Amino acid sequence: MSGGESSVAPGVPAGDAPVLAGRTALVTGAGRGIGRAIGIALARAGASVTLVARTHADLQDVAAEIRANGGAASPIVLDVTDESAVRAAIRELPTHDILVNAAGTNRPEPIREVDIRTLDALMAVNVRATFIVTQAVVSRLLDESRTGVVINISSQMGHVGAANRSVYCMTKHAVEGLTKALGVELAPHGIRVVSIAPTFIDTPLTRPFFADPQFRADVLASIPLGRLGQPEEVAAAAVFLASPQAALITGSSLLLDGGWTAR
């Protein structure tokens, strides 16, 4: 199997095999939060998963959990903002037919307080690294005439605006633009590109914000379903989008926002 989705009828897994059996996946930001949950879910669905993050201990913990449940995981310590290291690593790794760009960061600040370090940091992780990793993985697929799926973890803030999040919103709108552009460009090659746009998810990155009771109350009041999302819910969407069931979906965004953007 070459990683293509054309080996089975769209939406129909082969026999009783897990929906991603025989697939290879690379997940950035896989040490914690959403990336961790996605790595575990993809492995549970049958994919062999390469886990990428900066912290060795976090990666070992995720890999151990996957292996304990019978899955296949390879942890790789890598800073996705280091272009040369990223390109060298992807050249040495097997070709991946699923890529999940889950590495991301945020520093909420009023516009007049944003300094160049904040701007550069968010652009480096949320935009530049997403582009570079995608370019490297997709180039391998194109060179080998393989099909695949790129899943960008965006945000509801890639669809709307919010106070004190000018840089974050800008970066996530960029991710949505990249998703659309590559969805069109790569469709003739059988490579789908999609994004997942979650609302606030309960992760180590967001928990410090919710220590402020007023902030938590304001956020929950803006989510019609009245609750935060969980990493496992984003992971379930990633498994679906990576699977043959989503074979007609490309260049678009799946909003997991509890109704935030419907207002």
Residues belonging to the active site: 168, 172
The dihedrals phi and psi of 122, each to the nearest 5 degrees, come to: -70, -40
Separation between Cα atoms, residue 89 and residue 144, nearest integer Å: 18
Residue 206's closest CA among 263, 261, 156? Answer: 156
Let me know how long the chain is. Answer: 263
In terms of DSSP H, where are the helices of the chain?
A: 33-44, 56-68, 83-92, 116-122, 130-143, 166-186, 213-222, 231-242
> Which of left, alpha, beta for 99 (phi over 0: left; psi -120 to 50: alpha)?
beta
State the burial class of residue 211 (Cβ atoms within 10 Å of its Cβ: 0-12, 13-18, 19+): exposed
Separation between Cα atoms, residue 124 and residue 222, nearest integer Å: 29
